């Protein structure tokens, strides 16, 4: 009996061992089925149903075609009318657009299509909102300046399309973080002659409106001959960038036009370059020829900006001689003589430090009074290094160095400028933004108020009144800076 029990127990164990693979296979099949249901629901849905179900459906005559999956619908919150009005306002201000654009049919159609049949504000409502926002911005700016101990202002006059505007900006340092802040205070229309009494009256008026008369440490203007401004304004500084531009435009031209070999080369080379630029500027066909040959568009230099002239010459000299000659042949202008080409290449290499210095002082945020002296000293050192590398322009370099010492004599001898440089240098170890907050360190260049993306002084801006033009421009400047 005991032997029989052992045999029976052994049979059960063998039976269980034989059943184990079946359980494993069934478990794996269930897992695989679950995986396909999760990852490939469409494939599983297309598989035939069980035979009993299919047979029953066939007998009942029901359609066994699987139902299509519904596409998920994203719930996007509706755009409110207030949001549409805010976006239209931002567009008008940031792009300096004329107010009549909100009455344009295509503009209405675009706004309705994007917002779900919402309509933009009317012109009258837009103008009221801009005027109200401008007043709020002015009050907030005055409140901020009340808690500031020292500020520096800049003033500049620009003329275009027979209208002149006097732009005034203000710069100060946050006492806690030593971060520089900027704000546009005014951009008023100036009528008549730009005499010193008219300019001084406008500046004093703006200072009084924002209650900063006793806080202005200095006022930066261009290098116009308005010495009388010193009797009406706080300490007056001349724009460093404008002074460097005068050196490059006036003193350099005077030195290059002196008697000698360089005079003939300078004048003839510049005349031939000007002929190419004039052709490209006046004729679209000539511009297309240049683009086809050189695979680029030529820069037509500005009359008042030497930096643009330097950049235009640099682009010309970057072309191979064969392409440059082909352009001259196609445009039917005189070719550059090999000696003139050598002179222009020497010209661009020699004056590269000067062009860099001019560009450096055009900065709006990272340009400090403490940068002026080190920039001038570095510029002079770089020019002296070029003396051994030039063949035609030795006297030009010497005249530029002499002009730097003459025009910047007051700055180089200024105790405040030296202190600003010293504090700026010591602050670089921790932060390149740290400069003196009690001296005239805020800004040493005229405001970039008129250069917002080329949208200022364009024909469509002429449709605005002087008052609305100022409001939109100041709102845009103060919003960005």
User: pLDDT band at 443, cuts 50/70/90?
Assistant: very low
pLDDT digits (tens, 9 = 90+) for 103-137: 999 999 999 888 888 888 899 999 999 999 999 99
pLDDT of 263 > 90? The answer is no
Q: Provide the 8-state DSSP code for 249.
A: I
Burial class (CB in 10 A: 0-12, 13-18, 19+), 174: exposed
pLDDT digits (tens, 9 = 90+) for 90-104: 999 888 888 888 999
Q: Give the Cα-Cα-Cα angle 407, 452, 147 (nearest 5 degrees).
A: 75
Task: Please enumerate in sequence order all residues whose Cβ is within 8 A of that of 230, keeping only pairs 6 or more positions apart, or say none.
Answer: 236
Residue 132, classed as helix, strand or coil, is helix
What is the share, in percent, of the chain residues with pLDDT greater than 90? 28
Cα atoms in the Cβ-side hemisphere of radius 13 Å centred on 269: 25
pLDDT at 362: 75
User: pLDDT band at 39, cuts 50/70/90?
Assistant: low
Q: Give the Cα-Cα-Cα angle 334, 338, 339 (nearest 5 degrees).
A: 105
Does residue 445 or residue 434 have the better pLDDT? 445
**Structural domains in the chain?**
149-238+446-464 (3.30.420), 242-427 (no CATH)
Which residues, listed in sequence order, are joined to residue 238 by a DSSP beta bridge? 221
pLDDT at 270: 92
Does residue 221 or residue 254 have the better pLDDT? 254
Are 464 and 98 a contacting pair, CB within 8 Å? yes
Q: What is the mean pLDDT of residues 303-326?
A: 89
Q: In 363-433, where does DSSP find H-type helix?
A: 372-386, 394-407, 409-412, 415-427
> How far apart are alpha carbons 186 and 449 in whole angstroms?
10
Residue with tokens 């003396």: 387
Residue with tokens 């002429």: 462
Q: Give the Cα-Cα-Cα angle 94, 204, 180 (nearest 5 degrees).
A: 50
The verdict on pTM exceeding 0.75 is no
pLDDT at 231: 56
């Amino acid at each position: 009996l005991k032997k029989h029990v052992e045999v029976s127990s052994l049979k059960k164990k063998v039976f269980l061992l034989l059943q184990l693979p079946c359980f494993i296979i069934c478990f794996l099949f269930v897992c695989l089925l679950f995986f396909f249901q999760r990852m490939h629901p469409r494939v599983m849905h297309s598989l035939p149903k069980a035979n009993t179900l299919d047979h029953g459906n066939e007998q009942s005559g029901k359609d066994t075609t699987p139902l299509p999956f519904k596409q998920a619908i994203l719930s996007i919150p509706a755009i409110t009318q207030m949001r549409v009005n805010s976006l239209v306002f931002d567009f008008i201000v940031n792009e300096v657009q004329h107010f009549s654009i909100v009455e344009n049919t295509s503009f209405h159609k675009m706004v309705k299509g994007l917002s779900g049949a919402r309509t933009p504000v009317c012109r009258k409502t837009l103008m009221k909102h801009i005027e109200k926002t401008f007043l709020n911005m002015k009050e907030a700016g005055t409140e901020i300046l009340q808690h500031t101990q020292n500020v520096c202002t800049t003033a500049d006059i620009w003329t275009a399309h027979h209208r002149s505007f006097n732009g005034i900006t203000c710069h100060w340092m946050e006492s806690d973080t030593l971060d520089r802040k900027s704000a546009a205070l005014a951009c008023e229309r100036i009528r008549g002659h730009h005499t010193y009494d008219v300019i001084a009256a406008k500046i004093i008026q703006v200072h009084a409106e924002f209650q900063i008369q006793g806080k202005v440490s200095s006022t930066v203007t261009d290098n116009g001959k308005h010495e009388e401004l010193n009797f009406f304004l706080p300490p007056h500084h001349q724009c460093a960038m404008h002074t460097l531009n005068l050196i490059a435009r006036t003193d350099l031209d005077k030195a290059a036009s002196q008697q000698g070999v360089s005079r003939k080369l300078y004048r003839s080379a510049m005349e031939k370059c000007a002929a190419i630029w004039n052709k490209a500027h006046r004729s679209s066909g000539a511009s297309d020829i240049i683009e086809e040959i050189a695979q680029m568009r030529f820069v037509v230099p500005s009359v008042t900006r030497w930096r643009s002239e330097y950049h235009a010459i640099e682009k010309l000299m970057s072309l191979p001689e064969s392409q440059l000659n082909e352009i001259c042949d196609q445009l039917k202008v005189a070719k550059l003589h090999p000696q003139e080409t050598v002179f222009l290449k020497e010209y661009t290499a020699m004056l590269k430090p000067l062009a860099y210095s001019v560009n450096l002082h055009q900065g709006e945020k990272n340009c400090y009074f403490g940068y002026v002296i080190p920039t001038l000293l570095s510029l002079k050192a770089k020019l002296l290094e070029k003396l051994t590398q030039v063949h035609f322009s030795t006297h030009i370099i010497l005249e530029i160095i002499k002009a730097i010492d003459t025009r910047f004599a007051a700055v180089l001898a200024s105790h405040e400028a030296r202190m600003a440089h010293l504090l700026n240098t010591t602050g670089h170890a921790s932060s390149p933004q740290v400069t003196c907050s009690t001296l005239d360190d805020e800004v040493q260049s005229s405001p970039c108020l008129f250069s917002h993306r080329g949208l200022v002084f364009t024909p469509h801006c002429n449709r605005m009144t002087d008052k609305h033009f100022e409001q939109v421009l100041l709102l845009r400047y103060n919003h960005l800076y």
